[in-house]
A and B are shown apart, each in its own frame.
Chain A
Amino acid sequence: MKSGTTRREALKLTMLAGASLACPNIVRAADKYPSRPIKIVVPFAPGGSSDRLSRVAMPFVQKELGQPLEVVYQPGGGTVLGHTYLLNQPLDGYTICNSAVTYIPLTIAQGLAPFKVDDFSMINLPSRDFTMAVTAKDTSVKSFADALDRLKKDPRSVSLGVQASSVDYVNMILVLQAVGIDTAKIRLVTYDGGGPVRNAAAGGQIDVGFAGAEGFINLRDKIRVLAGFWDETIAEWSGAPLVSKIATETGIKVNYLPGALRGWVVPTKLKQEQPEIFKTLVGAFERATKNPEAIKASQVQQLGLVWYGPEASDAMYQKTAKVLQEHAYLLKGS
């Protein structure tokens, strides 16, 4: 009697367990790389440009690699958290990173990062963004010149928002210093990603936000562009007042840098110690990026998807890193 009930109980439990077995088995086995899904580390909070760039390329890269990709967010510490995380993963090619590499030299120069510029190697850096200063549609900030005027009178009168250790941050400081504003006294809020900066600016939580122009497309109806930090016209922001123009009008001299440089990154160690894996990755990304459908998809989202390749991307990265390290002193005390 007793053993009868227990057997039935056991059967019931096996049935319960069996339910979890019934689900489809996602591609497994085969020892050849890649034989399981690949993690893409995005060192920002969800919703920023790196997130979008990963998402847009994912279906095409997935097809080339024959394995699903999954995005893992590791926001915090001005990208140091995500980048450190990447370097601490096993060198098996199952963790790569989609990041704005401009943060790397800046966090290093600020003494926040436990790594070096050379610890990272590029697969491809397709996207170059530019800083844009915006305010919410209904704020009292009339124009960029107005904001600067007010800040000059009282550095605490206008709150500013920016992502920690970003090029946007450098650009903001460059402008403020050019006008002669005491940057030690400003009310500055730092965020863990361009996405949160944009939301905060669009919602009027902060008076002026500085972030990459690309990511503002979704929020276009909620914001007013105060200044664009670029020289040649960008089609989708053709009406934006340019910083250089504002500067000549107000009679100041301003220097600024191009914004975030974005793309696919792996640890240099992986490239050196697992050249085969690196080659596989590069091949897959090259084919995916050149896929006409992928190009079309990226245009819909106004994200540039161009193939430069590892060599050209590395060169671009190293060159930008040098310029940024020269400017990193501006972020002292942040």
Chain B
Amino acid sequence: MIDMHAMAGALDLMGTSVASWGWIIPGLIVGLVFSAIPGVSITMAMAIVLPMSLYMDFFPGVVFLTSVYTGAGFGGSVPAILMNIPGSPSSYATTFDGYAMSKKGLHNEALGYALFASTICGLLGYVLLLLVIEPLASIVLKIGPFEMFSVAMWGMLLLGSLGTRYATRGLLAAAFGILLGTVGMNTAGFVRGTLGMPELLGGISTVPAMIGLLASGQLLSLASKDYILDAESARTVSLRRILAGCWGTFRYPGVLIRGSVIGIVIGAVPGVGSSVGNLIAYAETKRTAKDSATFGKGNPKGVIAAESAVASAEGGSMATMLALGIPGGGATAILLAAFMMHNIVPGPSFIQNQKDMVYAIILNNMVQAVLLLVVGIGFIYLACNIVRIRTRYILPAILVIATMGTYAVEGSIGGPITLFVFSIIGFALVKFEYPVAPVVVGLLLGRMLETELLRSYQLAGGDITYVFERPATMAILAVMIFSLTMTAVSKRRQSRANRDGNLSRILATEQPEPRG
């Protein structure tokens, strides 16, 4: 599977290109810092540095860009964990348990878990890539609208596993979210619900809307607190505890591997991206966990699952880009641009004829994953200090940064206005006890659901039985149904167990939160 001759060539290439080594750390730092700003996505971080990379040679240029990619993949989880604001849609699932851990004063550990999961799975993603780049590429091409629709549905299923106080309100929130996601012009050219605003043709801008929905519930309510964390003893920044978190990741190899596989496969499918992968990985981990009731309350497995899918998705999308010349999303489109500006055309012939270059890129990305650990620890150590700053300082700054970040998405005031409108919607949802998560997920996946459903319908010619001719769809559907049934069964078992042990558990573990 590995061409040893090409491998030697790759090592030689890496050895002789001294400049490429120098660009890894700056790239990682740029990626980390930019993507930690809410609203600045991985794609934007890369677009910002693309012009710089043009002045470099090909290999160092690609190393620099992929380092930014690697750093940005993790950066988004820092605000997700510390403040419940996902830096980009791909770190949404990280907020579930990450922020819950922070609230318990376990922010050091949570960031450690996230970082190490990111590192290991980034590495794992590329190792797998090294072995299966060609077969993976041909599988990816076979994934059609049925499969894509099933994947999107799978993402929506997460809602089922999230649980909600009122079932009906949860479902309404989901339907409402999907409807919001279909606003604008659909794939067949019909324009709906834009209220005559051309800005809405492409749909509601997801990043500002997402931040708005989440911010109103938690960010604004920080105004009534003195610090992000209530208990003074919890407001520590400890390298030892960050490292303990890192080390603790090893206790969950199953979670890491499952997350990575989901991340790679979904990351490799063009047009899906990591925003679904993290949700599915989270949902699947929660479903299979024995302690699934504690998910969302600060279970480290939730953080690890989400982060592992995000990190390994990078390897997956690189596979599609290198082997087929197909950019799966914005980030790989920018990488492709960098390739082309050096007159190198990725695709089947590229990986045949320039295998040493492909290997060198993959190997270098493994080095990046390891270095991310070092740079990342330093970064989260600094970032953790946020919990020691009083909210009266942190809150205005964060709100300003979020506003500016959403402005930077499109360069128009439309972003901040979307943020504000969705803050109001979010406020109403929270006030009347509707879950916010289904709205966010619906909004993220609504467009994909509609497009793929439409294509599936076209392909089947309106005949539902056609689905039975697609083995891959059947497989995905089977897993989905299995997943649903298992969730229902385990939920039942758990709620029965909870009913019995509820009182004693509450007395034993739950302490009333002090109000600030």
Contacts and interface: CB of A to CB of B under 8 A. Distances in A.
B330 A46 contact: yes
A238 interface: no
Given A73-B333, A78-B189, 17 more contacts: A16-B382, A16-B385, A20-B33, A45-B271, A47-B270, A56-B340, A71-B333, A74-B202, A81-B184, A159-B459, A187-B458, A187-B460, A187-B461, A189-B455, A189-B459, A219-B348, A221-B348
23 contacts: A6-B390, A12-B388, A12-B389, A16-B382, A26-B51, A47-B327, A55-B340, A71-B333, A85-B198, A88-B199, A110-B189, A159-B459, A164-B188, A165-B189, A199-B141, A200-B144, A203-B144, A218-B346, A219-B324, A219-B347, A221-B348, A222-B138, A297-B343
Contacts of B343: 297, 300-301
Contacts, number: 169
A297 B199 CA distance: 36
A74 B185 CA distance: 11
B486 interface: no
A143 to B, nearest CB: 22
Interface stretch (A190-198, A243-251, A266-274, A313-321): A190-198
A107 B189 contact: yes
Given A13-B393, A17-B397, A77-B188, A218 B458 contact: no
B238 interface: no
Contacts of B145: 189, 205
Contacts of A110: 189
B329 interface: yes
B458 A188 contact: yes
Contacts of B164: none
A77 B458 contact: no
Nearest to B460: A187
B477 interface: no
Contacts of B190: 77
Given A190-B188, A219-B348, A9 B389 contact: yes
Interface in B321-377: 324-327, 329-330, 333, 336-337, 340-341, 343, 345-349
B142 interface: yes
Interface string A37-76: 0000000011100011001101100100000101101101
B54 interface: yes
Contacts of B138: 203, 222
A24 interface: yes
A301 B385 contact: no
Interface in B444-483: 451, 455, 458-461
Given A196-B271, A297-B343, A190 B458 contact: yes
A112 B142 contact: no
Contact of B33 (A19, A107, A156): A19
A204 B142 contact: yes
A188 B386 CA distance: 55
Contact of B333 (A47, A62, A81, A159): A47
B144 A218 contact: no
A52 B458 CA distance: 28
Interface in B1-60: 30, 33-34, 37, 47-48, 50-52, 54
B379 to A, nearest CB: 9
Classify the secondary structure of B's interface with A. Answer: helix
A76 to B, nearest CB: 5
A47 B334 CA distance: 11
Interface of A: 6, 9-10, 12-13, 16-17, 19-20, 23-24, 26, 45-47, 51-52, 55-56, 58-59, 62, 68, 70-71, 73-74, 76-78, 80-81, 84-85, 88, 107, 110, 112, 156, 159, 164-165, 187-192, 195-196, 199-200, 202-206, 217-222, 297, 300-301
A220 B271 contact: no
Nearest to A113: B189
B186 interface: yes
Contacts of A76: 185-187, 189, 202
B335 to A, nearest CB: 11
Nearest to A16: B382
Interface in B42-80: 47-48, 50-52, 54
Interface in B62-119: none
Interface string B153-196: 00000000000000000000000000000001111111100000
A158 to B, nearest CB: 11
B201 interface: yes
B189 A80 contact: yes
B136 to A, nearest CB: 12
A205 B385 contact: no
A196 B199 CA distance: 25
Kindly state the interface size class of chain B when it binds its partner: 35 or more
A68 B336 contact: no
A77 B450 CA distance: 13
Contacts of B324: 199, 218-219
B202 A206 contact: no
B337 to A, nearest CB: 5
A71 B348 CA distance: 25
Contacts of A188: 458
Contacts of B184: 81
Given A13-B394, A55-B337, A192-B187, A203 B141 contact: yes
Interface string B399-431: 000000000000000000000000000000000
B187 A206 contact: no
Contacts of B132: none
Contacts of A74: 202
Contact of A58 (B48, B337, B349, B394): B337
A206 B459 contact: yes
Given A56-B340, A205-B145, A46 B329 contact: yes
Interface string B245-281: 0000000000000000000000000110000000000
A312 B191 CA distance: 34
A84 B201 contact: yes
A17 B36 CA distance: 12
B327 A46 contact: yes
Contact of B389 (A13, A80, A204): A13
Nearest to B383: A16
List the 7 closest pairs (A to B, CB-CB), nearest first.
Answer: A203-B141, A205-B144, A218-B347, A77-B189, A218-B325, A88-B198, A187-B461
Contact of B140 (A46, A80, A203): A203
B143 interface: yes
A221 B352 CA distance: 11
Contacts of B33: 19-20, 23
Contacts of B202: 74, 76, 81, 85
Contact of B337 (A16, A71, A77, A221): A71
B186 A46 contact: no
B414 to A, nearest CB: 12
Given A46-B330, A196-B271, A203 B201 contact: no
Nearest to A45: B271
A80 B346 CA distance: 30
Of listed B138, B188, B189, residue having the most chain A CB within 10 A: B189
A204 B144 CA distance: 9
Given A9-B388, A199-B270, A300-B343, A187 B455 contact: no
A112 B348 contact: no
A217 B191 CA distance: 34
Interface string B202-213: 100000000000
Nearest to B44: A70
B137 to A, nearest CB: 9
